Amino acid sequence: MTKRMRNVAITGIGQTRHRGHREDINMVELVSEAVEEVLADSRIDLKDIDCIVHGNMELFEGVHQPDMWHVLGDGAFGKAGYRITTGGTTGATLACTADHLVASGMYENVLAIGWEKQEEGMTTTGITNMADPLWEREIQTGAITGTHGVMMMNKFGEPANQAAAEIRVLMAENARKNYKAHLRIDITREDVLESRVLAWPLRLLHMCPESNGACAMLFSSEEQAKRLPQKPVWMHDHITVHRQETFDLVNMGDLDTHGEAARVLYARNGIVNPLKQIGVFEMYDPQSWWALDWIGKFLMFENGEQIDMVLNGDFAIDGKFPLNPSGGVVSSNPIGATAIIRVAEAALQIRGNAGDHQVPREVDLALASGFGGTFWTVLLLLGKDKPDK
């Protein structure tokens, strides 16, 4: 693992219920719901938090510097603060930033908050206007692309089509166990395969929703973790890989930032067999075709082994390698919070209190990933045991 000045623990987790409509509250109140829950979970007083790291995709709501407004809901008044926006990776970047701030010795307790209230803006408008209309036309559609699906169909044929549908069914099954998930739907493989085509072979039920929600996490020094009641979950390592400068349609198949992140993270943490050494993986999956492709990248498969694993049920909560017990991004997608939800859910699995979607065996190590923009990957490794500094 990378050397750090001191260890950092996740000592509190708060998360709203994610929904398509929250007309009963405003943005400040949405953030406040997650903050109140993390304070209750960690049993810490707001005055003991030194710094607040806040993030969302502000283009989507059209509110500039919302962190200034949200001091009314997150308790940031008079405290050090940072505003983070890195696209779909925002939540994961929040977790990495909070980790760095505590590990550096600057702060003892840092609160990271990711959120999005997408019904108050137009997400599609925000995405399509982020790219140059001439030179970056290929990414104007944001996450709605069938390119990787076409690649997998060309390489593996109909089994890939069936597996992409089946992994969506699995995410729906997991989400029905998670009362905080947005889409808690009962679907079959046939439902997915018969849903409306968005960009072949990508269909409507392959795709993530637009959600409203917030997630807050408390990151503490080792000394603070000893004083707090929750079982600490330790930050072991994280890595960020992006290749925006080489992004274009011709090279899309070569932009393997997931595989690069996995190779580096595994090498410096002694992980030689992730299937056996990692207890659970909360992976950022904006659509089911990407999930099918990317799990192969993260597990460093070369011949589509993940297709058979999906069809054999190996990624189920009680399977060989539990994937997204929470239901994943295709079930809940409040974008500024989406990637930090992956970290929070991985931490809950290690703590052993994820509720009805808890993996039925002890989890020693967990992975969480974030994804966004032009193939920007963040990969985090969490552990039950305190790492050597």
Residue by residue, DSSP assigns 298-356 as HTT-SS-HHHHHHHTTTTSTTSSS-B-TT--TTT---HHHHHHHHHHHHHHHHHT--GG
Residues 75, 218 within the same domain: yes
Residue 83's SS3 state is strand
Task: Provide the CATH number for the domain around residue 345.
Answer: 3.40.47.10
> Could you report the per-residue pLDDT of 147-159, keeping only the tens digit for each?
889 999 999 999 9
Residue 1 lies in a domain: no
Task: Give strand pairing partners of 199.
Answer: 202
Q: How many domains does the chain have?
A: 2
> Could you report the per-residue pLDDT of 250-278, keeping only the tens digit for each?
555 556 899 999 999 999 999 999 999 99
Residue 24 lies in a domain: yes
Residues 294, 334 within the same domain: yes
Q: Domain residues for 92?
A: 8-123+211-227
Lowest mean pLDDT among 39-48, 96-105, 118-127: 118-127
> Could you report the per-residue pLDDT of 150-197, keeping only the tens digit for each?
999 999 999 999 999 999 999 999 999 999 999 999 999 999 999 999
Q: Which two tokens stand for residue 73?
A: 């809901």
Residue 375 lies in a domain: yes
> Could you report the per-residue pLDDT of 360-384, keeping only the tens digit for each?
999 999 999 999 877 899 999 999 9
pTM of structure = 0.96
